[in-house]
């Protein structure tokens, strides 16, 4: 039996996608070394309700010098993090200390640095951390855990704000992180983190949010339980319109803040929805199977009709879609992406070539399969010429759709 990484309770597996490669391991075409594969499956803890991967990938295989995800690649996300930074500066005050776990290329902390705010970013992936440093951000190139937290506390004192975006859900050893947070946080400090919301994943059947780096799929219920194990309390849970639906959770030391109605409201909504109930999870599984059948059916039909299809956005999420559905270069000829570190490489597992955005703009395909569907508004707004010249978008969550 597999056990919960948070509480050692029994894990009930509800979806198995089979063997998958590392989602951000973009290969050089000349590389013929064996790819790393693991079993991508998800379970829900019968005791604490935490939804999590069944198999853990060693962190050094995912987060290293060449980690190719740059947070600032989306204008919408840049604005989102800059607004968050201004809120944290207000909260922390002129002498406050703001810490970010997984600060990546400094999308949030560069604003704090420019405002002269006392801060520290923790970022183990070398290339993205170097970009943050070049923007004036003070960065530590290590993995945050309880030991690192003790060292930071000893050097810099307590933190007024600790922030983690799309990072806490990446860390299987979350108990050590929360011990670290509890060591580092000032008595009235806040720990704010935002991650894909499991109820949104279910509602949209966005199974592509499930991949190696996304180890946990939080709900207000599982986060409240996790917080309580560490003397912390969930005081706010705000839904966010980013990355297909997230929740920004705020924790404080138990008793230090009054939980807002957002917490009780979200907990109540989760109970009504039956967010970790067997029937809900079974339904998710059958919808995912249907999406696979519909998507491979459509792509095969288009290939047989001689239509060209390109992928748009070499996302980590797309590794789950392409490998689970078996979408190779016969169905999607290439994927365009604006990230230099991904261009000229092959996507993990199915080996679709990644080309710069210019390849798309210079010769539009008949169809674009939108792997970066979470950025649909931003992308469709700037690609109006594609649709004006007859191009059509294919999306696959919550169901396979062609627009316009």
Residues at the contact surface with ligand SAH, assessed by CB under 6 A: 63, 67, 69, 71, 101-102, 104, 122-125, 128, 143-144, 165-167, 170-171
Per CB under 6 A, 355 contacts ligand TYD = no
Residue 332 C-beta: closest distance to ligand SAH, Å: 25
State the nearest-atom distance from the C-beta of 63 to ligand SAH, in Å. Answer: 4
> How many Å is the Cα radius of gyration of the chain?
21
Whole-angstrom distance, CA of residue 173 vs CA of residue 176: 6
Out of 2, 12, 47, 283, the only residue in the binding site for Zn ion (CB under 5 A) is: 47
Binding of Zn ion by 158 (CB under 5 A)? no
Of 58 and 326, nearer to ligand SAH (C-beta) is 58
Residue 374 near ligand TYD by CB under 6 A: yes
Interaction between residue 379 and ligand TYD (CB under 6 A): yes
Which does residue 144 touch among Zn ion, ligand TYD, ligand SAH, none (CB within 5 to 8 A, set by kind)?
ligand SAH
Q: Give the nearest distance from C-beta 165 to ligand SAH in angstroms.
A: 3
Instruction: Output the DSSP codes for 75-95.
Output: HHHHHHHHHHHHHHHHHH-TT
Shortest Cβ 368–ligand TYD spacing (Å): 11
- Cα 11 to Cα 232: distance, rounded to the nearest angstrom: 24
387 binding ligand TYD? (CB under 6 A): no
167 touches ligand TYD by CB under 6 A: no
Give the C-alpha distances (Å, rounded to integers) separating 389 from 157, 332, 366. 58, 20, 9
The residues in 302-331 that bind ligand TYD, with binding defined as CB under 6 A, are: 313-317
Which residue, 152, 93, 87, is CA-closest to 120?
A: 152
Q: Which does 101 bind (CB under 5 to 8 A by kind): Zn ion, ligand TYD, ligand SAH, none?
A: ligand SAH
Q: CA angle at residue 345 from 393 to 103, to 5 degrees?
A: 85
In angstroms, what is the minimal distance from the CB of 22 to ligand SAH? 13
Contacts with ligand TYD, 60-79, as mask; x by CB under 6 A:
---------x---xx-----
Shortest spacing between CB 78 and ligand SAH, in angstroms: 10
Long-range contacts of 93-97 (CB under 8 A, 24+ apart): 93/160, 96/160, 96/161, 97/156, 97/157, 97/158, 97/159, 97/160, 97/161, 97/186
CB neighbour burial string for 212-242, b if at least 16 within 10 angstroms, e if fewer? bbbbbbbbbbbbbbbbeebebbbbbbebbeb
* Distant-in-sequence, close-in-space partners of 154: CB < 8 Å, separation ≥ 6: none
Per CB under 6 A, does 345 bind ligand TYD? no
**What minimum distance in Å lies between the beta carbon of 53 and Zn ion?**
13
- Rounded CA separation 119/163 (Å): 11
Structure token digits, residue 341: 């570190």
| Closest CA relative to residue 191, chosen from 214, 223, 218 | 223
- Return the one option of ligand TYD, Zn ion, ligand SAH, none that residue 9 interacts with (CB less than 5 to 8 A, by type): Zn ion
8 Å CB contact between 315 and 244 = no
**Residues within the interface to ligand TYD (CB under 6 A):** 69, 73-74, 313-317, 337-339, 342, 372, 374-375, 378-379
**Residues within the interface to Zn ion (CB under 5 A):** 4, 6-7, 9, 45, 47-48, 50
């Amino acid at each position: 039996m597999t056990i919960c990484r948070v509480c050692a309770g029994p894990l009930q597996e509800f979806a198995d996608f089979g063997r998958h490669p590392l989602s951000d391991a973009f290969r050089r075409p000349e590389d013929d070394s064996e790819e790393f594969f693991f079993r991508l499956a998800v379970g829900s803890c019968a005791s604490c309700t935490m939804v999590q991967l069944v198999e853990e990938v060693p962190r050094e295989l995912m987060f290293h010098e060449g980690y190719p995800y740059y947070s600032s690649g989306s204008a919408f996300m840049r604005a989102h993090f800059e607004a968050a930074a201004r809120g944290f500066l207000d909260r922390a005050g002129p002498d406050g200390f703001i810490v970010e776990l997984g600060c990546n290329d400094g999308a949030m902390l560069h604003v704090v640095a420019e405002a002269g705010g006392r801060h520290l970013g923790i970022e183990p992936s070398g290339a993205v951390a170097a970009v943050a440093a070049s923007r004036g951000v003070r960065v530590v190139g290590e993995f945050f855990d309880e030991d690192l937290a003790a060292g930071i506390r000893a050097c810099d004192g307590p933190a007024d704000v600790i922030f983690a975006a799309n990072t806490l859900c990446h860390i299987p050893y979350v108990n050590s992180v929360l011990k670290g947070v509890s060591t580092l946080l000032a008595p009235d400090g806040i720990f704010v983190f935002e991650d894909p919301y499991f109820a949104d994943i279910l509602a949209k059947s966005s199974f592509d949010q499930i991949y190696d780096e996304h180890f946990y799929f939080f709900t207000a219920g599982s986060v409240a339980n996790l917080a309580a194990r560490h003397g912390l309390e969930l005081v706010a849970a705000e839904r966010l319109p980013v990355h297909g639906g997230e929740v920004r959770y705020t924790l404080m030391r138990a008793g230090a803040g009054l939980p807002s109605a957002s917490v009780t409201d979200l907990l109540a909504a989760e109970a009504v929805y039956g967010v970790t109930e067997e029937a809900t999870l079974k339904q998710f599984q059958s919808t995912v199977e249907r999406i696979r059948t519909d998507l491979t059916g459509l792509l095969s039909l288009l290939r047989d009709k001689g239509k060209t299809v390109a992928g748009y956005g070499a996302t980590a999420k797309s590794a789950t879609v392409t490998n689970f559905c078996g979408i190779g270069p016969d169905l999607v000829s290439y994927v365009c992406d604006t990230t230099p570190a991904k261009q000229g490489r092959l996507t993990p597992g199915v080996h679709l070539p990644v080309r710069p955005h210019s390849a798309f703009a210079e010769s539009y395909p008949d169809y674009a399969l939108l792997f970066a569907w979470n950025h649909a508004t931003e992308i469709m707004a700037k690609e109006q010429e594609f649709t004006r010249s007859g191009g059509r978008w294919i999306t696959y969550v919550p169901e396979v759709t062609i627009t316009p």
